[in-house]
Chain A
Amino acid sequence: ILNVEQSPQSLHVQEGDSTNFTCSFPSSNFYALHWYRWETAKSPEALFVMTLNGDEKKKGRISATLNTKEGYSYLYIKGSQPEDSATYLCAFYGNQFYFGTGTSLTVIP
């Protein structure tokens, strides 16, 4: 069983602040790194699928970077809004999916 770690475990920020969190994963046997957002009472929703070292993806105010050689990915949220409040999960794919425990983000209006 592989270890995928996310930090911080939880985060409270003020509306308008920018924030970022980390996903650490094994640097060997890498195929893909997925980011998902999971809002309370909803289904997890895919944000990004990242496959190449140095990948940078962006969707609106959310962006992500990938470093497969050192085994980490950063997720950035610029100008956080209350609707960004959710748990953000990363999933490493080597021979199967391994999820981290998530970062719970609360944006305070």
Chain B
Amino acid sequence: EAGVAQSPRYKIIEKRQSVAFWCNPISGHATLYWYQQILGQGPKLLIQFQNNGVVDDSQLPKDRFSAERLKGVDSTLKIQPAKLEDSAVYLCASSLRARKPPPPNEQFFGPGTRLTVL
């Protein structure tokens, strides 16, 4: 079974530039998560999708970050314009389905994209 794919693995940009990350979850996984991990901190949830709908984006800085999951499969996360404090590893994860009620299933993570903003 193929794992969660992410690209690019590394990206270096200057502040005020734009950047986009791509994630392809495990086939059949309904739930997709994007996390931001700043050095020395734990991963912080940015957005959670259930199929192509947003479940939670309360911690997404919507003035500069956007995300979509067209057709409920792969997803893109965009930052426009980037700031120095956006330097982090961006992790994508997927899980089989979101249960109602919770608890959620285990998450399967991609390798992450390391973003450096200069």
Decide: A44 and B41 in contact? CB cutoff 8 A.
no
Complex interface residues of chain A between 1 and 57 (CB less than 8 A to chain B): 1, 4, 6, 31-32, 34, 36, 42-46, 49, 51
Decide: A97 and B45 in contact? CB cutoff 8 A.
yes
**How many A-B residue pairs lie within 8 Å, measured between CB atoms?**
60
Residues of A within 8 A of B42 (CB): 4, 6, 89, 98-102
Across the interface, B109 reaches (CB within 8 A) one of A4, A43, A101, namely: A43
A sample of 21 inter-chain contacts (CB < 8 A) reads A4-B42, A31-B101, A31-B102, A42-B111, A43-B108, A44-B93, A46-B106, A49-B105, A49-B106, A51-B103, A89-B43, A91-B43, A93-B102, A93-B103, A93-B104, A95-B56, A96-B56, A97-B45, A97-B104, A100-B42, A102-B42
**Which chain B residues have a beta carbon within 8 Å of chain A's beta carbons?**
3-4, 33, 35, 40-45, 48, 56, 58-59, 91, 93, 101-112
